[in-house]
Structure 1
Amino acid sequence: MTKINENYRKLPGSYLFTEIARRVTAYGQKNPDKRLIRLGIGDVTRPLAPAVISAMHAAVDEMGTMEGFRGYGPEQGYDFLRQAIAEYDYQARGAEIAPDEIFISDGAKSDCGNIGDIFGVDNVVAVCDPVYPVYVDTNAMAGRAGEYSEAVGRWSNLVYMPCTAENGFAPALPESKVDLIYLCFPNNPTGAVATREQLQAWVDYAESRGAVILFDSAYEAFISDPSIPHSIFEIEGARRCAIEFRSFSKTAGFTGNRCAYTVVPRDLERGGASLNTLWNRRQTTKFNGVPYVVQRGAQAVYSDAGRAQVRETIGFYQNNARVIRAGLAGAGLTVSGGENSPYVWAKTPHGMGSWAFFDLLLQQAGVVTTPGAGFGPSGEGYIRLSAFGGAEDTAEAVERIRAVL
């Protein structure tokens, strides 16, 4: 008889955002005349930049000619996009990343989960707490997480690094042995950022122990503080111990287009093997590449017009974040994030549970948020609010929330 991957049976309940969708759907069915405002899932709402649209139209026209038609593209991505990324995202910031160290993909979420393919199942994984669920769930699916305890909300084999108000939502270096370390800055969900000194400590730690940092930098475009690094590769030594994930989803509104990239330096080796070579082998075997039209659109993000237009959209979302942060703080909630991040992390009032506060805001304010408990034990007692809505909706949502507090 066919056997299944028993690790899937160990996964608790449903994926966080699936449960949110279920509750929101139930609310909508019972309240068809009430208008919901969604500040939960971090999906963008602004249109693609005109420069991106023009580039994609031109690429579509190319594909309609004998001379311009393209079939299978390189699994690693087209050179024109890899070169633009290397120049503008890395070399311009003093990080020496070459095009052949960049792998274009269909999403940072996919890569954060798929990266485990090149690592042994017996590696010890460390995650921040609260944490983006994909880091945890994909390692559970692979068999690295051990057993899940409903009582404590944790997996037995994962090393949890609490990120709390007491430590400024910055995880401490693990005291026990770890092999793979997931870091996300600007952080999802707390909105915290890491200073150059903090990242240097992580790099030094990983180098000294032969660990690998898996650095999710999907929200780097929202950093407004010039002293905060945008990439782990701005840090000395990171080429020997880190892999970085980035995405065009939040930077340029590509959530529906699916385009991202992962950087695996050639200097990074473990077990006598080049991780760049291993990831290339994985991609060429399991992935057929991102469509040519989409990659041309992503390339346009780096044009003069594209950069200005994308920057304007980022500014729009940053203003939404300021409105949320200021409005909730003014209503008496304790808030963080929202300054170098599109997410605001708010403490629930009166010791209320995360899901209870989520339900209160849904039922009484008609506002969808994300309960912090869904991100891990240390997220209990918080909610996450997203700045990716419209300006009027964001302002109205804040007023609705204030009215029920």
Structure 2
Amino acid sequence: MPVRLPSRVMNGMKSLTIGVDRIFPTIGTVNPFQAMSQQAPAQLVNLSQLQPFGSADEALEAVLACLRSFVPFRLWMVTRLDDDDWTVVKSLDEGYGARPGKIFSWSGTYCSRMARGEAPMFAEAAQEVDLYRQAPINGEVPLPIGAYIGLPLYKERGELAGTLCALDPLPQPPLSEQQRLLVSTLARSLSTLLMVHARAEEAGRRAERHRYEAETDPLTGLCNRRGWELAVHDQEAATLRMVQNALVMVIDLDDLKMVNDTQGHEAGDELLRRAARVIQQQFRDLDVVARIGGDEFAVLVPGASSRESVKLKDRLRGAMAEARVSASVGSALRLSHDSLNQAVAAADAAMYEDKTARKGGGMPSVSPASAV
């Protein structure tokens, strides 16, 4: 929303022009503070133009656009260094083919020589510098390199992260001290931006790792009960929003206690891991497989129909038998119940009916409410 600046603010801006005049006229552009102070006291300023950038990507693009406006080289780019891969992260390019994602060999670039301190950061006549004239990258780009600017970008611990780089096909007049100061200051600002972005990404990875650890069973690598409950909650929301069915299966191992008592807990742990692998292999990546108790597993299959549910249950039974893992299985469909939690309870009840029937030597019985 436009804001009317008080006259005392406009008068204060006039004092800024003394120092700024030394930079902007030399660069060849208008001093914005001088222009603003010369306009009417009722000057309106659109504060929306001063809002923070929406992303680091937008900020990089704005910095490159600013640099090109003051130092109009044909290519301005920010790069990342990974071993010998020199990758273009963001670019404003006219003819060099340096699109984002393009990878050059670092050892053949001007920037590698600059970063080692062997050649200058500002080479307005690049071919007069022996190390630049002999660099392999001269033969890898479609335009000649007549002028070069390159400054290092650093990680938090002083390691080289990449470079800010500019190229032009023709030799250029020597840059003024003010232009060099502008480029150097923005390069340092980019290093800071990249550091802050890296910290945010690392914080995100730590949070994701903590979330994963909090929701993962360390023995089997499956979801634990917390992860299962969150998945059930999310699926219930999807069911209400999209009227989507879902299959719930509960699996209970029959012999874990006996294996622990007769062969030891290490053998019991191996049985749990083998059962987890067999169960997980029968389902899609988007399905949720969890260990929700000592010898109890659960599966959530979004979008499963009644016919698919029967096939999945039969396939799981066959795979468990082939792997010599004895287990009782119960299942239920969400739309047969008032909530997904009720379907989970029905599948659990069906599992116990299956266990009772199998121990009695009869066929497993399934209640009508939980039949799939």
TM-score tier after normalising by the smaller chain length: under 0.3
Larger Rg computed on CA atoms = 2
- Bigger relative contact order (CA 8 A; separation at least 6): 1
Greater strand share, structure number: 2
Taking structure 2 as the reference length, what is the TM-score of the superposition?
Answer: 0.23
Taking structure 1 as the reference length, what is the TM-score of the superposition?
Answer: 0.22
